[in-house]
A and B are shown apart, each in its own frame.
Chain A
Amino acid sequence: MSVALVVDDSSVNRMLLARHLASIGIDSKEAVDGRSAIDALKLFADEVAVVLLDVMMPEMDGYETLAAIKSDEALRHLPVIMISSLDELDSVARCLEMGAADYLPKPFNPVILAARVRASLADKRLHDVEVAHAEAQREMLETIDRQKTELARFLSPQVAALVSSPEGEQLLAGHRREATSVFLDLRGFTAFSDSAEPEEVLGVLREYHAAMGELIVEHGGTLEHFAGDGMMVFFNDPVPQADHVERAVRMAIAMREKFGALTTRWSKLGYELGLGIGIAAGYATLGRIGFEGRYDYGMVGTAVILASRLSSAAEANQILLNPRAHAAVEDLVLAERVGELQLKGFSRPIPTVNVLAPRAADAAEGMSADPPVLTGAGTTDG
């Protein structure tokens, strides 16, 4: 039930107003002057939906009371209906300018009173609905933000962003495009994990994942998954990257360096581990892979299998490229031919190169690798 605050110094007027309000289903609270009206509003802020305010009162008159209500953040939305004699229309105009919603002429006509109070209550309800709606929307946005943040902990940032984007569903449904697949895994890991304590194994993996993960993010790669010592990263999806092969190769070079720093320390502890990387560019299908309850965003295609086989074939510190990937970065890195590899699942041998280092000009532009020690002849497969 709605509650009205009736503010009038005349008990006759208060009683009459309360009575008329009751007949249209509105409860009343009463105040004898402006000051007690403000006190009552602070006390019953949640209940009062409309204020009926007399202009001429002791203590705080109607103007001061109206001004106090309209300048209070918590009260200003309350509709205020001025109670006024017909010979006071000037003061009514002033109150309307000050933010009063309406006025009610004395002597009271129950029909006019009902109409004006109902109109003000309807406005108030509309306002409340808008406020509630805005609040609900804000909460929803906060929830979505929180979910995005949580999602980003589990998924690669690109996939998390994709899931929350308007095009998300379409991209998730599956699409075909050129992409670069990168596989990394460790040489000597099986022997290491057989001989080392589980805590040591997990410690090494944690360091390795943290170091590589940082570089994946830095180069804008999408981490599809990691399983033990193996990691699969792809580029050019879901965020298109014109330089996807270059990014993949630069990331691989940075990983090899960073891994070098790790192995220096690990070898002192007696861990002999090496990093092998395979990179293949090609057309692939990307999108949601899996089953209800457990989906991944993944890449499927020959390039993926090829990158996986190349990383298995790579010796420690090698970064092996398929011809398509090599063609895209030929001008940027020095590479050596490693021959035509016969890889499982591929009927024809794959001409493969190993990335040695960025070319000099490129290195000067800020790539972190040392300038290449090898020069010219025999370093590329042409």
Chain B
Amino acid sequence: MSDETPILDEAIIAELRESVGGDDGFVAELAAAYLAEGPDHVRAMEAALARGDVAGAVRPAHTLKSSSAALGAMRVSVISKAIEHAAREGRTEGLETAVAEARTAWEQTVAAMNERKLAG
């Protein structure tokens, strides 16, 4: 499912830029903050699963979902949302795969943002 979702949704980035009055500097700061804290959330999800604490994956997945959505990193957002819901309901099946997908999508996002110089 996530493969169909774009890594970066240009329309959302454009919307974000417009909502802050075309301030590219601010968008760059926001992207930098996102890139700085994102790895913590991905790691936190991995660590939770590694110690068998499914519920522990809810919060990092939730946070990653919303901050990714804000910056148009839709693939990470969609995968994180699926992880959040599954973890909250205690559905472990496919959870490990999903977290691995999130890791991949995250790395793709970092690459895409760097390529696009979104963070300046």
Contact = CB atoms under 8 A, between A and B. Distances in A.
Nearest to A16: B70
A11 B69 contact: no
A148 interface: no
Give me the 8 closest cross-chain CB pairs, A-B, nearest first.
Answer: A12-B67, A11-B33, A10-B67, A56-B62, A10-B63, A12-B34, A106-B66, A110-B19
Nearest to B66: A106
Contacts of A23: 20-21
Contacts of A87: 81, 85
Contacts of A58: 59
A70 interface: no
Contacts, number: 54
**Most chain A Cβ neighbours within 10 Å, of B19, B20, B71:** B19
B36 to A, nearest CB: 8
A15 interface: yes
Interface string A251-277: 000000000000000000000000000
B83 interface: no
A11 B59 contact: no
B53 interface: no
B26 A107 contact: no
Interface residues of B, number: 23
Contacts of A56: 58-59, 62-63
Contact of A85 (B30, B34, B65): B65
A20 interface: yes
B33 A12 contact: yes
A107 B20 contact: no
A19 interface: yes
Nearest to A106: B66
Nearest to B26: A19
17 contacts: A10-B37, A10-B63, A13-B67, A15-B26, A15-B29, A19-B20, A56-B58, A56-B59, A56-B62, A56-B63, A85-B66, A87-B81, A106-B70, A107-B12, A107-B69, A108-B70, A110-B19
Interface of B: 12, 19-21, 26, 29-30, 33-34, 36-37, 58-59, 62-63, 65-67, 69-71, 81, 85
**Most chain A Cβ neighbours within 10 Å, of B20, B37, B71:** B20
Interface string A1-36: 000000001111101100110010000000000000
Contact of B70 (A13, A57, A110): A13
A107 B58 contact: no
B30 A16 contact: yes
Nearest to A55: B62
Interface in A76-105: 85, 87
Nearest to B33: A11
**Most chain B Cβ neighbours within 10 Å, of A19, A87, A106, A109:** A19
A107 B66 contact: yes
**Most chain B Cβ neighbours within 10 Å, of A16, A57, A85, A110:** A16
Contacts of B62: 56, 85
Interface string A222-248: 000000000000000000000000000
Nearest to B15: A107
